[in-house]
Chains A and B, each alone.
Chain A
Amino acid sequence: MSLGPYASFIVTSYALVAAVVLLLIVWIIADYRRQQARLKEIEASGVMRRSGRSAADIR
């Protein structure tokens, strides 16, 4: 597969899309872990939801 004289433009485009999509995925996973950790921390201090169920339990 030859990309011709404009290969750098094509490769940069695909690399940039891959990088941004990867960044989005990592950001969302990290945010999820951060919220779960904060919920567990608060619940460990004795504060519970009115329903009595754990806020970190999402199944």
Chain B
Amino acid sequence: MKLTETLTDLANPTRFLALTARILPWLAGATAFLLAIGLYQSAMAPDDYQQGATVKIMFIHVPNAWLSMFVWSVMSVAALGTLVWRHPLADVAAKAAAPIGAAFTFLALVTGSLWGRPMWGTYWEWDARLTSVLILFLMYLGLMALWRAVEDPSRAARAAAVLTLVGAINIPIIKFSVDWWNTLHQPASVLRMGGSTLDKAFLWPLLVMAIAFSLLFITLHLAAMRNEILRRRVRSLQMMQASRVSFTSEAGAGSRDAGASKEIGAA
């Protein structure tokens, strides 16, 4: 009941803007604080007995990889919000999340590649995990292109929501690709049945970095949603401005026509 009331309250963009204006500075502060701790712990983490110091890449690669899937999941819930519940902020949330998700996915791909070169001897391999994440990245770009291609935000929202839900099929494929197929990429070592296989010296910095990056996403997402609401206000005011200009010019033309017909009648 409480959650439903909160969601209904947040359906009002003005209330959402007011609430996020108060929350954002605290979120940004918490993100910076946790990032500082996470980076310090990552720097102090010992070398791995096999990978040496390259294990430090894990502390930024894994949070980005998690977020690449998490952001698409958030967009999928938002897509349901657009298609099923018709929540006014659902498509705003989906549109604002796409570029941020694309950035995290890009970082997961590149840091993975930079980690793979010294460990696997190659920057890239067409195995199931790497290929499915590349597809996810391309889907993010496709979604962003779709939002730009359709001018009317409500029409774009429905098309994007359908595409997002279809693309959500890729998320379990990415997650379980390392179990279903024989891949160069290692199997899950943190979120797995039987608990994490990581030593605590690596697990704690990784968890702190994961929480810090999740907070970073929430902060950036809320800020981008505020921008999107303002962009829609600009659009509606511009339409009001345009309709006012056309009404004025039509009224002007109408009075000129009336004047002309009077002149014709007088002649």
Contact = CB atoms under 8 A, between A and B. Distances in A.
10 contacts: A9-B117, A13-B57, A14-B60, A21-B216, A31-B224, A31-B227, A42-B241, A45-B241, A47-B241, A55-B237
Contacts of B118: 5-6, 9
Nearest to A18: B60
Interface in B86-130: 99-100, 103, 106-107, 110-111, 114-115, 117-118
Given A2-B53, A35-B230, A58-B21, A13 B114 contact: yes
Q: Is chain B's interface secondary structure helix, strand, loop, or mixed overall?
A: helix
B17 to A, nearest CB: 4
A36 B17 CA distance: 13
A24 B105 CA distance: 13
B224 A28 contact: yes
Q: Which 4 A-B pairs have the closest CB atoms?
A: A35-B230, A58-B17, A6-B118, A4-B53
Nearest to A19: B107
A24 B223 CA distance: 11
Contact of B18 (A38, A49, A58): A58
Contacts of A6: 52-54, 118
B233 A39 contact: yes
Interface residues of A, dominant DSSP = helix
A21 B104 CA distance: 9
B82 interface: no
